């Protein structure tokens, strides 16, 4: 545990001295805040138009804002997660510091899990300030949104980010070039994003498998405040799979040098 914590602390320190992390967080918060403002304004205008026309409004306006906002977060995560992981291993390999890690008394699993937990911590810290937008809406809307919808939605966003970070970490371990790592991570994440588009509604076994592999399909349940067991299994299995693959990739570096 001490070695794992040492890797975790080292990676967190690297994030806080790197301008990339600050740029990614700033862009994420600026875009999420801007679009949240637009969503609230659009829903308010729709409600006013319905009231002026004398139409009874049965729409859950805060709920509509939250569902749209969580959909936006999923799109932003698709772009931001590769930026957080592109240098996790690629930069280490380029600078030659990966060799020092491999020759130290630290296992491959400790290296991989420590780096992964650091990226996940930064992601959670990036996601946390968006709760301020939601809290402001909660205290200034009537009716107020369901807390279960908000909590489950954020749980889904965290699990989605955890999955894409694991994918990005694996891709980063395969190359020394950060741009290649970013492009590969984004491409792999996008493939998991759109993998079910061509088979939606299909009843074949292949169609059902591809639909199950889609990260968006599982995230949609969370945006509606629904926790589905199959979605939880998916979002736990995907990071575990790619963390395992990353451990094997890092282990192969040791054998190539030996």
Question: What DSSP letter does each residue of the chain carry, written as one string?
Answer: -HHHHHHHHHHHHHHHH-HHHHHHHHHHHHHHHHHHHHHHHHHHHHHHHHHHTT------HHHHHHHHHHHHHHHHHHHHHHHHHTTTTHHHHHHTHHHHHHHSS--HHHHHHHHHHHHHHHHHHHHGGGHHHHHHHHHT-SSPPPHHHHHHHHHHHHHHHHHHHHHHHHHHTT-S-HHHHHHHHHHHHHHHHHTTGGGTT--SHHHHHHHHH-HHHHHHHHHTT---HHHHHHHHHHHHHHHHHHHHHHHHHHHHH-
CA distance 253 to 93: 10
Q: What is the pLDDT along the chain (258 residues), one digit of tens a residue?
A: 788 888 899 889 888 888 888 898 999 999 999 998 888 888 777 767 666 666 555 566 777 888 889 989 999 999 999 999 998 888 887 777 777 777 778 888 999 999 999 999 999 999 999 988 888 877 776 666 778 888 999 999 999 999 999 999 999 999 889 999 999 999 999 998 888 676 566 666 776 777 788 888 889 889 888 888 999 999 999 999 999 999 999 888 766 555
Tell me which residue of 19, 169, 6 sits closest to 85, measured CA to CA: 169
**Tokens of residue 178, six digits:** 């950060």
Structural contact between residues 215 and 160, judged by C-beta atoms closer than 8 angstroms: yes
**CA dihedral defined by 151, 74, 240, 108, rounded to 10 degrees?**
-110
Q: What was the pLDDT predicted at 222?
A: 92
pLDDT tens-place string over residues 54-71: 655 556 677 788 888 998
Tell me which residue of 202, 176, 196 sits closest to 93, measured CA to CA: 176
Q: What was the pLDDT predicted at 147?
A: 81
Structural contact between residues 205 and 211, judged by C-beta atoms closer than 8 angstroms: no
Report residue 157 CA to chain centroid gap: 6
pLDDT tens-place string over residues 104-152: 788 889 999 999 999 999 999 999 999 888 888 777 766 667 788 889 9
CA distance 214 to 192: 5
| Domain boundaries defined on the chain | 2-257
What Å distances lie between residue 151 and 128, 213, 216, 226, 234, CA to CA?
12, 24, 18, 10, 19
């Amino acid at each position: 545990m001490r070695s794992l914590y040492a890797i975790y602390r080292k990676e967190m320190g690297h994030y806080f001295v790197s301008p990339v992390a600050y740029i990614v967080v700033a862009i994420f918060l600026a875009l999420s805040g801007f679009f949240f403002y637009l969503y609230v304004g659009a829903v308010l205008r729709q409600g006013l138009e319905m009231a002026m026309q004398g139409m009874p409004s049965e729409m859950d306006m805060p709920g509509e804002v939250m569902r749209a906002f969580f959909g936006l977060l999923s799109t932003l995560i698709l772009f931001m997660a590769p930026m957080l992981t592109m240098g996790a291993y690629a930069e280490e390999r380029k600078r030659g510091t990966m060799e020092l890690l491999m020759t130290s008394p630290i296992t491959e699993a400790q290296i991989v899990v420590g780096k992964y937990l650091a990226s996940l911590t930064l992601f959670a810290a990036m996601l946390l300030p968006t709760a301020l937008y939601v809290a402001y809406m909660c205290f200034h809307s009537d009716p107020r949104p369901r807390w279960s919808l908000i909590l489950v939605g954020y749980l889904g966003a965290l699990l989605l980010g955890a999955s894409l970070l694991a994918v990005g970490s694996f891709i980063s371990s395969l190359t020394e070039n950060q741009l290649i790592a970013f492009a590969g991570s984004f491409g792999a994440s996008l493939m998991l994003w759109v993998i079910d588009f061509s088979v939606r509604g299909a009843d074949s076994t292949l169609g059902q498998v591809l639909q199950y592999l889609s990260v968006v399909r599982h995230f949609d349940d969370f945006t509606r405040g629904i926790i589905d067991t199959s979605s939880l299994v998916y979002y736990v299995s995907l990071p575990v799979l790619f963390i395992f693959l990353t451990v094997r990739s890092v282990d192969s570096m040791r054998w190539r040098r030996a």
